[in-house]
Protein backbone atom coordinates (compact mmCIF):
# COMPACT_ATOMS: atom_id res chain seq x y z
CA UNK A 1 0.00 0.00 0.00
CA UNK A 2 1.54 3.33 -0.97
CA UNK A 3 1.62 6.31 1.39
CA UNK A 4 -1.32 8.15 -0.19
CA UNK A 5 -3.58 5.11 -0.08
CA UNK A 6 -2.58 4.38 3.51
CA UNK A 7 -3.60 7.88 4.60
CA UNK A 8 -6.80 7.58 2.61
CA UNK A 9 -7.69 4.38 4.50
CA UNK A 10 -6.92 6.03 7.82
CA UNK A 11 -8.97 9.13 7.07
CA UNK A 12 -11.87 6.95 5.91
CA UNK A 13 -11.83 4.87 9.14
CA UNK A 14 -11.35 7.95 11.34
CA UNK A 15 -14.18 9.69 9.49
CA UNK A 16 -16.55 6.78 10.15
CA UNK A 17 -15.58 6.71 13.84
CA UNK A 18 -16.00 10.46 14.30
CA UNK A 19 -19.30 10.46 12.42
CA UNK A 20 -20.66 8.28 15.22
CA UNK A 21 -19.90 10.89 17.85
CA UNK A 22 -23.13 12.91 17.56
CA UNK A 23 -25.07 9.73 18.35
CA UNK A 24 -22.97 8.96 21.39
CA UNK A 25 -24.11 11.75 23.69
CA UNK A 26 -27.53 13.26 23.83
CA UNK A 27 -28.72 16.18 25.86
CA UNK A 28 -31.52 15.48 28.31
CA UNK A 29 -32.33 16.08 31.94
CA UNK A 30 -34.32 12.87 32.31
CA UNK A 31 -32.41 10.35 34.41
CA UNK A 32 -33.56 6.74 34.31
CA UNK A 33 -32.07 3.49 35.53
CA UNK A 34 -33.66 0.40 34.03
CA UNK A 35 -33.02 -3.01 35.56
CA UNK A 36 -32.32 -4.58 32.16
CA UNK A 37 -29.18 -2.43 32.08
CA UNK A 38 -27.72 -4.53 34.90
CA UNK A 39 -28.78 -8.02 33.85
CA UNK A 40 -25.95 -10.48 34.18
CA UNK A 41 -25.15 -12.94 31.44
CA UNK A 42 -22.94 -16.04 31.83
CA UNK A 43 -21.14 -14.90 28.67
CA UNK A 44 -19.33 -11.58 29.02
CA UNK A 45 -17.11 -10.16 26.31
CA UNK A 46 -15.62 -6.90 25.13
CA UNK A 47 -12.46 -5.30 23.86
CA UNK A 48 -11.29 -2.50 21.62
CA UNK A 49 -10.40 -1.60 18.07
CA UNK A 50 -7.35 0.60 17.79
CA UNK A 51 -5.75 2.65 15.05
CA UNK A 52 -2.28 3.98 15.67
CA UNK A 53 -0.41 6.31 13.33
CA UNK A 54 3.27 6.93 13.94
CA UNK A 55 5.87 9.12 12.32
CA UNK A 56 9.42 8.34 13.39
CA UNK A 57 12.52 10.40 12.75
CA UNK A 58 15.41 7.96 12.67
CA UNK A 59 18.61 8.84 14.49
CA UNK A 60 20.87 8.33 11.46
CA UNK A 61 23.99 9.07 13.47
CA UNK A 62 23.11 6.44 16.09
CA UNK A 63 24.95 3.14 16.23
CA UNK A 64 21.69 1.30 16.86
CA UNK A 65 20.42 2.38 13.44
CA UNK A 66 23.71 1.28 11.83
CA UNK A 67 23.28 -2.08 13.51
CA UNK A 68 19.70 -2.59 12.33
CA UNK A 69 19.99 -1.00 8.86
CA UNK A 70 23.34 -2.15 7.44
CA UNK A 71 22.23 -1.35 3.88
CA UNK A 72 21.40 2.26 4.61
CA UNK A 73 19.55 4.04 7.37
CA UNK A 74 16.19 5.60 6.40
CA UNK A 75 15.57 9.18 7.50
CA UNK A 76 11.97 8.60 8.56
CA UNK A 77 9.50 5.77 9.05
CA UNK A 78 5.73 6.13 8.82
CA UNK A 79 3.63 3.43 10.42
CA UNK A 80 -0.03 2.53 10.27
CA UNK A 81 -0.90 0.06 13.04
CA UNK A 82 -4.44 -1.24 13.38
CA UNK A 83 -5.20 -3.75 16.13
CA UNK A 84 -8.08 -5.60 17.74
CA UNK A 85 -8.20 -6.90 21.30
CA UNK A 86 -11.02 -9.17 22.46
CA UNK A 87 -11.45 -10.44 26.00
CA UNK A 88 -14.24 -12.34 27.66
CA UNK A 89 -15.39 -15.00 30.05
CA UNK A 90 -18.01 -17.72 30.31
CA UNK A 91 -19.19 -18.72 33.79
CA UNK A 92 -20.89 -21.98 34.66
CA UNK A 93 -21.35 -22.72 38.34
CA UNK A 94 -18.01 -22.71 40.14
CA UNK A 95 -16.04 -22.67 36.87
CA UNK A 96 -15.16 -19.74 34.68
CA UNK A 97 -13.42 -19.81 31.29
CA UNK A 98 -11.46 -16.64 30.39
CA UNK A 99 -9.74 -15.46 27.22
CA UNK A 100 -7.85 -12.50 25.78
CA UNK A 101 -6.82 -12.39 22.10
CA UNK A 102 -4.97 -9.73 20.17
CA UNK A 103 -4.69 -9.21 16.41
CA UNK A 104 -2.26 -6.57 15.22
CA UNK A 105 -1.05 -5.35 11.85
CA UNK A 106 1.64 -2.94 10.76
CA UNK A 107 2.15 -1.12 7.47
CA UNK A 108 5.39 0.81 7.16
CA UNK A 109 8.24 1.54 4.73
CA UNK A 110 9.18 -2.13 4.61
CA UNK A 111 5.67 -3.42 3.88
CA UNK A 112 2.85 -5.14 5.76
CA UNK A 113 3.23 -7.50 8.73
CA UNK A 114 0.58 -8.90 11.04
CA UNK A 115 0.22 -11.19 14.02
CA UNK A 116 -2.43 -12.95 16.05
CA UNK A 117 -1.69 -13.85 19.65
CA UNK A 118 -3.51 -15.63 22.44
CA UNK A 119 -2.53 -13.51 25.43
CA UNK A 120 -4.64 -15.44 27.91
CA UNK A 121 -6.86 -18.50 27.87
CA UNK A 122 -7.48 -20.23 31.17
CA UNK A 123 -10.09 -21.91 33.33
CA UNK A 124 -10.77 -20.88 36.89
CA UNK A 125 -12.42 -23.13 39.42
CA UNK A 126 -13.57 -21.68 42.71
CA UNK A 127 -13.05 -24.38 45.30
CA UNK A 128 -14.32 -22.31 48.23
CA UNK A 129 -14.98 -18.57 48.55
CA UNK A 130 -11.38 -18.12 49.70
CA UNK A 131 -9.57 -20.47 47.34
CA UNK A 132 -9.39 -21.03 43.61
CA UNK A 133 -7.39 -22.81 40.94
CA UNK A 134 -6.45 -21.31 37.55
CA UNK A 135 -5.21 -23.56 34.76
CA UNK A 136 -4.04 -22.31 31.38
CA UNK A 137 -2.28 -19.33 29.86
CA UNK A 138 -2.42 -16.31 32.12
CA UNK A 139 -0.54 -13.03 32.57
CA UNK A 140 0.80 -11.92 35.94
CA UNK A 141 1.62 -8.49 37.27
CA UNK A 142 3.71 -9.09 40.37
CA UNK A 143 5.33 -6.11 42.04
CA UNK A 144 4.31 -2.60 43.11
CA UNK A 145 6.28 -0.51 40.61
CA UNK A 146 4.54 1.34 37.77
CA UNK A 147 7.39 1.34 35.27
CA UNK A 148 9.50 -1.66 36.30
CA UNK A 149 9.06 -4.71 38.50
CA UNK A 150 12.31 -6.28 39.74
CA UNK A 151 10.20 -8.83 41.67
CA UNK A 152 8.08 -9.65 38.62
CA UNK A 153 9.65 -13.10 38.39
CA UNK A 154 6.78 -14.43 36.25
CA UNK A 155 5.86 -11.17 34.47
CA UNK A 156 6.48 -10.25 30.88
CA UNK A 157 8.48 -7.05 30.54
CA UNK A 158 6.20 -4.06 30.17
CA UNK A 159 6.75 -0.79 28.36
CA UNK A 160 7.17 1.95 30.99
CA UNK A 161 5.65 4.39 28.49
CA UNK A 162 2.53 2.21 28.34
CA UNK A 163 2.51 0.24 31.60
CA UNK A 164 -1.26 -0.38 31.52
CA UNK A 165 -1.30 -2.38 28.28
CA UNK A 166 -2.18 -6.08 28.21
CA UNK A 167 0.72 -8.50 28.13
CA UNK A 168 0.97 -12.09 26.97
CA UNK A 169 0.91 -14.66 29.75
CA UNK A 170 2.52 -18.04 30.38
CA UNK A 171 0.91 -21.46 30.67
CA UNK A 172 0.67 -22.09 34.41
CA UNK A 173 -1.20 -23.90 37.13
CA UNK A 174 -2.11 -21.56 39.96
CA UNK A 175 -3.53 -22.15 43.43
CA UNK A 176 -4.63 -19.15 45.46
CA UNK A 177 -5.69 -19.12 49.10
CA UNK A 178 -7.04 -15.99 50.80
CA UNK A 179 -7.54 -15.43 54.51
CA UNK A 180 -9.01 -12.31 55.99
CA UNK A 181 -9.02 -11.35 59.63
CA UNK A 182 -10.68 -8.26 61.04
CA UNK A 183 -9.71 -6.72 64.31
CA UNK A 184 -11.41 -3.57 65.49
CA UNK A 185 -10.54 -0.74 63.07
CA UNK A 186 -7.59 -2.77 61.82
CA UNK A 187 -8.49 -4.60 58.64
CA UNK A 188 -5.94 -7.16 57.61
CA UNK A 189 -5.68 -10.02 55.23
CA UNK A 190 -3.24 -12.40 53.64
CA UNK A 191 -3.09 -14.39 50.42
CA UNK A 192 -0.84 -17.18 49.25
CA UNK A 193 -0.36 -17.67 45.50
CA UNK A 194 1.59 -20.66 44.21
CA UNK A 195 2.40 -21.25 40.55
CA UNK A 196 3.67 -24.22 38.59
CA UNK A 197 5.31 -23.12 35.32
CA UNK A 198 6.14 -25.95 32.93
CA UNK A 199 8.81 -25.32 30.31
CA UNK A 200 9.46 -27.48 27.24
CA UNK A 201 9.93 -27.06 23.50
CA UNK A 202 6.14 -26.90 23.14
CA UNK A 203 5.15 -24.90 26.24
CA UNK A 204 6.61 -21.64 27.56
CA UNK A 205 9.78 -22.22 25.52
CA UNK A 206 10.61 -18.49 25.73
CA UNK A 207 10.35 -18.49 29.54
CA UNK A 208 13.71 -20.12 30.11
CA UNK A 209 16.03 -23.00 29.40
CA UNK A 210 15.59 -26.78 29.40
CA UNK A 211 12.59 -28.93 30.14
CA UNK A 212 11.00 -29.09 33.54
CA UNK A 213 8.52 -27.57 35.95
CA UNK A 214 9.30 -24.40 37.90
CA UNK A 215 7.72 -23.22 41.12
CA UNK A 216 6.92 -19.61 42.01
CA UNK A 217 5.07 -18.16 44.96
CA UNK A 218 3.85 -14.96 46.51
CA UNK A 219 2.69 -14.36 50.07
CA UNK A 220 0.70 -11.13 50.40
CA UNK A 221 -0.01 -9.42 53.71
CA UNK A 222 -1.96 -6.29 54.53
CA UNK A 223 -0.32 -5.40 57.82
CA UNK A 224 -0.80 -2.10 59.65
CA UNK A 225 -2.23 -0.54 56.45
CA UNK A 226 0.85 -1.60 54.46
CA UNK A 227 0.79 -4.01 51.50
CA UNK A 228 3.70 -6.44 51.75
CA UNK A 229 4.58 -9.28 49.38
CA UNK A 230 7.22 -11.97 49.81
CA UNK A 231 8.02 -13.63 46.49
CA UNK A 232 10.19 -16.47 45.23
CA UNK A 233 11.00 -18.45 42.11
CA UNK A 234 12.85 -21.78 41.99
CA UNK A 235 13.36 -24.12 39.07
CA UNK A 236 15.64 -25.21 36.30
CA UNK A 237 14.52 -22.75 33.62
CA UNK A 238 15.80 -19.64 35.35
CA UNK A 239 18.07 -19.14 38.33
CA UNK A 240 16.45 -18.99 41.77
CA UNK A 241 15.31 -15.58 42.93
CA UNK A 242 13.70 -14.07 46.01
CA UNK A 243 12.01 -10.75 46.57
CA UNK A 244 9.95 -8.46 48.73
CA UNK A 245 7.78 -5.47 47.87
CA UNK A 246 5.66 -2.99 49.78
CA UNK A 247 3.19 -0.17 49.27
CA UNK A 248 1.78 2.26 51.81
CA UNK A 249 -0.09 5.55 52.04
CA UNK A 250 1.80 8.10 54.14
CA UNK A 251 -1.16 10.46 53.83
CA UNK A 252 -4.35 10.16 51.78
CA UNK A 253 -2.61 11.87 48.83
CA UNK A 254 0.91 10.51 49.23
CA UNK A 255 1.88 6.88 48.60
CA UNK A 256 5.27 5.17 48.65
CA UNK A 257 6.21 1.77 47.25
CA UNK A 258 9.29 -0.31 46.73
CA UNK A 259 10.69 -3.63 45.54
CA UNK A 260 13.88 -5.57 46.23
CA UNK A 261 14.92 -8.72 44.40
CA UNK A 262 17.89 -11.04 44.92
CA UNK A 263 18.66 -13.10 41.82
CA UNK A 264 21.16 -15.94 42.12
CA UNK A 265 23.52 -16.92 39.30
CA UNK A 266 22.19 -14.39 36.83
CA UNK A 267 23.71 -14.98 33.42
CA UNK A 268 25.20 -12.12 31.39
CA UNK A 269 27.13 -11.99 28.12
CA UNK A 270 29.90 -9.43 28.04
CA UNK A 271 31.68 -8.08 24.97
CA UNK A 272 35.42 -7.70 25.50
CA UNK A 273 37.88 -5.16 24.10
CA UNK A 274 39.27 -7.66 21.57
CA UNK A 275 35.82 -8.42 20.14
CA UNK A 276 35.37 -11.78 21.88
CA UNK A 277 32.59 -12.48 24.40
CA UNK A 278 32.53 -13.82 27.93
CA UNK A 279 29.64 -15.40 29.87
CA UNK A 280 29.31 -14.23 33.46
CA UNK A 281 27.21 -15.58 36.29
CA UNK A 282 26.69 -13.32 39.28
CA UNK A 283 24.20 -13.11 42.10
CA UNK A 284 22.71 -9.63 41.94
CA UNK A 285 20.36 -7.26 43.77
CA UNK A 286 17.81 -5.21 41.89
CA UNK A 287 15.51 -2.70 43.46
CA UNK A 288 12.98 0.02 42.99
CA UNK A 289 11.67 2.83 45.16
CA UNK A 290 8.81 5.06 44.13
CA UNK A 291 6.19 7.52 45.21
CA UNK A 292 2.87 8.80 44.01
CA UNK A 293 1.69 12.25 45.04
CA UNK A 294 -1.58 14.05 44.32
CA UNK A 295 -1.72 17.82 44.75
CA UNK A 296 -4.84 19.78 45.73
CA UNK A 297 -5.28 20.84 42.09
CA UNK A 298 -5.25 17.25 40.79
CA UNK A 299 -1.70 16.95 39.53
CA UNK A 300 -0.56 13.35 39.99
CA UNK A 301 3.19 12.70 40.11
CA UNK A 302 4.68 9.22 39.94
CA UNK A 303 8.44 9.11 40.48
CA UNK A 304 10.51 5.92 40.59
CA UNK A 305 14.18 5.05 40.93
CA UNK A 306 15.19 1.67 39.48
CA UNK A 307 18.48 -0.16 40.02
CA UNK A 308 19.09 -3.03 37.62
CA UNK A 309 21.75 -5.16 39.30
CA UNK A 310 22.32 -7.19 36.17
CA UNK A 311 22.48 -4.21 33.84
CA UNK A 312 25.43 -3.06 31.78
CA UNK A 313 27.61 -0.29 33.13
CA UNK A 314 28.15 2.83 31.06
CA UNK A 315 31.67 1.64 30.13
CA UNK A 316 30.42 -1.77 28.99
CA UNK A 317 27.76 -0.22 26.77
CA UNK A 318 30.17 2.33 25.29
CA UNK A 319 32.52 -0.53 24.38
CA UNK A 320 29.66 -2.28 22.55
CA UNK A 321 28.70 0.84 20.56
CA UNK A 322 32.33 1.44 19.60
CA UNK A 323 32.53 -2.00 17.96
CA UNK A 324 29.78 -1.14 15.47
CA UNK A 325 31.87 1.36 13.55
CA UNK A 326 35.57 1.52 12.86
CA UNK A 327 36.98 4.91 11.94
CA UNK A 328 33.47 6.17 11.24
CA UNK A 329 32.69 3.25 8.91
CA UNK A 330 30.27 0.45 9.76
CA UNK A 331 32.09 -2.85 10.31
CA UNK A 332 31.69 -5.87 8.02
CA UNK A 333 28.43 -7.83 7.82
CA UNK A 334 29.74 -10.87 9.72
CA UNK A 335 30.82 -8.76 12.69
CA UNK A 336 27.55 -6.86 12.52
CA UNK A 337 25.63 -10.13 12.68
CA UNK A 338 27.49 -11.15 15.86
CA UNK A 339 26.88 -7.72 17.37
CA UNK A 340 23.21 -7.94 16.42
CA UNK A 341 22.94 -11.24 18.32
CA UNK A 342 24.63 -9.64 21.33
CA UNK A 343 22.30 -6.69 20.99
CA UNK A 344 19.22 -8.92 21.13
CA UNK A 345 20.67 -10.89 24.02
CA UNK A 346 21.22 -7.89 26.22
CA UNK A 347 22.93 -4.73 25.09
CA UNK A 348 19.99 -3.25 23.19
CA UNK A 349 17.22 -4.60 25.37
CA UNK A 350 15.07 -1.89 26.90
CA UNK A 351 16.51 -0.57 30.20
CA UNK A 352 19.62 -2.74 30.01
CA UNK A 353 21.61 -0.15 31.96
CA UNK A 354 22.14 0.04 35.70
CA UNK A 355 20.27 3.04 37.11
CA UNK A 356 17.12 4.77 35.88
CA UNK A 357 14.72 7.46 36.97
CA UNK A 358 11.09 7.46 35.86
CA UNK A 359 8.78 10.42 36.34
CA UNK A 360 5.22 10.76 35.13
CA UNK A 361 3.06 13.83 35.69
CA UNK A 362 -0.61 13.94 34.75
CA UNK A 363 -2.99 16.85 35.25
CA UNK A 364 -6.63 15.85 35.56
CA UNK A 365 -9.11 17.95 33.58
CA UNK A 366 -7.29 21.31 33.43
CA UNK A 367 -9.34 24.41 32.52
CA UNK A 368 -12.48 22.43 33.45
CA UNK A 369 -12.20 20.28 30.32
CA UNK A 370 -13.82 17.05 31.47
CA UNK A 371 -12.05 13.76 30.55
CA UNK A 372 -9.01 15.65 29.24
CA UNK A 373 -5.65 14.61 30.68
CA UNK A 374 -2.36 16.13 29.59
CA UNK A 375 0.75 14.38 30.86
CA UNK A 376 4.50 14.13 30.65
CA UNK A 377 6.59 10.97 31.05
CA UNK A 378 10.35 11.10 31.30
CA UNK A 379 12.84 8.27 31.70
CA UNK A 380 16.46 9.12 32.51
CA UNK A 381 19.47 6.82 32.39
CA UNK A 382 21.21 8.15 35.50
CA UNK A 383 24.60 6.75 34.50
CA UNK A 384 24.96 8.66 31.23
CA UNK A 385 22.24 11.33 31.73
CA UNK A 386 20.53 10.44 28.44
CA UNK A 387 16.74 10.57 28.51
CA UNK A 388 13.41 10.27 26.78
CA UNK A 389 10.68 12.91 27.16
CA UNK A 390 7.10 12.06 26.21
CA UNK A 391 4.42 14.74 26.52
CA UNK A 392 0.91 13.51 25.73
CA UNK A 393 -2.72 14.62 25.50
CA UNK A 394 -5.53 12.17 26.21
CA UNK A 395 -9.23 12.80 25.69
CA UNK A 396 -11.95 10.31 26.64
CA UNK A 397 -15.03 12.53 26.50
CA UNK A 398 -16.95 10.48 23.96
CA UNK A 399 -18.40 7.31 25.45
CA UNK A 400 -16.16 4.33 24.62
CA UNK A 401 -13.71 6.43 22.58
CA UNK A 402 -10.23 7.43 23.64
CA UNK A 403 -7.92 9.69 21.65
CA UNK A 404 -4.28 10.06 22.57
CA UNK A 405 -1.63 12.25 20.95
CA UNK A 406 1.98 11.73 21.95
CA UNK A 407 5.38 13.10 21.07
CA UNK A 408 8.57 11.37 22.20
CA UNK A 409 11.97 12.98 22.11
CA UNK A 410 15.08 10.92 22.82
CA UNK A 411 18.12 12.90 23.78
CA UNK A 412 21.65 12.13 24.88
CA UNK A 413 25.31 12.52 23.98
CA UNK A 414 27.16 10.26 21.58
CA UNK A 415 27.65 6.74 23.00
CA UNK A 416 24.91 7.27 25.61
CA UNK A 417 21.89 4.93 25.74
CA UNK A 418 19.25 7.32 24.36
CA UNK A 419 21.78 9.14 22.21
CA UNK A 420 22.42 5.90 20.31
CA UNK A 421 18.80 4.72 20.05
CA UNK A 422 17.42 4.05 16.61
CA UNK A 423 14.64 6.62 17.00
CA UNK A 424 15.39 10.32 17.46
CA UNK A 425 11.80 11.36 17.98
CA UNK A 426 8.34 10.04 17.35
CA UNK A 427 4.85 11.45 17.05
CA UNK A 428 1.95 9.10 17.61
CA UNK A 429 -1.81 9.43 17.29
CA UNK A 430 -3.85 6.63 18.84
CA UNK A 431 -7.58 6.23 18.50
CA UNK A 432 -9.43 3.52 20.42
CA UNK A 433 -13.02 2.41 20.32
CA UNK A 434 -14.14 0.11 23.13
CA UNK A 435 -17.04 -2.31 22.70
CB of 109 to other proteins, least distance (A): 30
Contacts of 308 (CB under 8 A, 6+ apart): 148, 150, 286, 351, 352, 353, 354, 355, 356
Residue numbers 126-145 binding other proteins by CB under 8 A: 126, 129-130, 132, 139-144
Task: Tell me: does residue 146 bind other proteins (CB under 8 A).
Answer: yes
Residue numbers 95-114 binding other proteins by CB under 8 A: 96
Considering only 2, 251, 276, 334, the residue that binds other proteins (CB under 8 A) is 251
Beta bridge partner(s), residue 226: 223, 248
In the chain, what's the furthest Cα-to-Cα distance? 77
- Tell me the three state secondary structure of residue 210: coil
Give the residue from 31, 34, 78 showing the smallest Cα distance to 58.
78
CB of 352 to other proteins, least distance (A): 24
Near other proteins by CB under 8 A, which window of 53-61, 159-167, 268-276, 307-315? 159-167
Considering only 242, 389, 407, 434, the residue that binds other proteins (CB under 8 A) is 434
CB of 373 to other proteins, least distance (A): 8
8 Å CB contact between 379 and 147: yes
Which long-range contacts (C-beta less than 8 Å, at least 24 apart) are formed by 262-270? Answer: 263/239, 263/309, 263/310, 264/239, 264/240, 265/239, 265/240, 266/239, 266/309, 266/310, 267/239, 268/310, 268/346, 269/342, 269/345, 269/346, 270/316
Site string for other proteins, 270-309 (x = CB under 8 A): ----------------------x-x---x-x---------
Residue numbers 401-430 binding other proteins by CB under 8 A: 401-402
With CB under 8 A as the rule, give the number of residues binding other proteins.
76
Nearer to other proteins, 163 or 287 (CB): 163
Angle at 301 between CA 157 and CA 411, to 5 degrees: 60
Task: Tell me: does residue 91 bind other proteins (CB under 8 A).
Answer: yes
Residue numbers 38-77 binding other proteins by CB under 8 A: 38, 40, 44, 46, 48
Nearer to other proteins, 125 or 344 (CB): 125
End-to-end CA distance of the chain: 28
Angle at 29 between CA 25 and CA 34, to 5 degrees: 80
| Number of CB atoms found within 10 A of residue 124's CB | 19
Residue numbers 319-378 binding other proteins by CB under 8 A: 364-365, 368, 370-371
Site string for other proteins, 25-44 (x = CB under 8 A): xxxxx-xxx-x-xx-x---x
| 202, burial (CB in 10 Å: exposed 0-12, middle 13-18, buried 19+) | exposed
Task: Tell me: does residue 159 bind other proteins (CB under 8 A).
Answer: no
Task: Tell me: does residue 267 bind other proteins (CB under 8 A).
Answer: no
Nearer to other proteins, 33 or 206 (CB): 33
Distance CA 249, CA 97 (A): 35
**DSSP letter string over 71-93?**
T---SEEEEEEEEEEEEEEEEET
Near other proteins by CB under 8 A, which window of 244-252, 274-282, 312-320, 383-391? 244-252
Considering only 172, 204, 247, 422, the residue that binds other proteins (CB under 8 A) is 247
Task: Tell me: does residue 123 bind other proteins (CB under 8 A).
Answer: no
Amino acid sequence: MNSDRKWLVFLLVAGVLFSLIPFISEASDDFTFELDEIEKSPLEWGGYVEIKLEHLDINQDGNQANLNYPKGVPATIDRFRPSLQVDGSYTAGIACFNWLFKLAGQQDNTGWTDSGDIYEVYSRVKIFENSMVDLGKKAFGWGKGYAWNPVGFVNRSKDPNDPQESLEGYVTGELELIKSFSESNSPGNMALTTLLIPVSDAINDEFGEGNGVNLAGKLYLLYQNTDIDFLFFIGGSRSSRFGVDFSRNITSNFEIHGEAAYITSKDRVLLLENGSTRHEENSVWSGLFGLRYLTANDLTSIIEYYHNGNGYTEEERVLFYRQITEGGVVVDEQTLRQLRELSLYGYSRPYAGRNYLYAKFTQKEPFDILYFTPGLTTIVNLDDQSASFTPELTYAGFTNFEIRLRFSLLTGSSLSEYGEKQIGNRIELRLRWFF
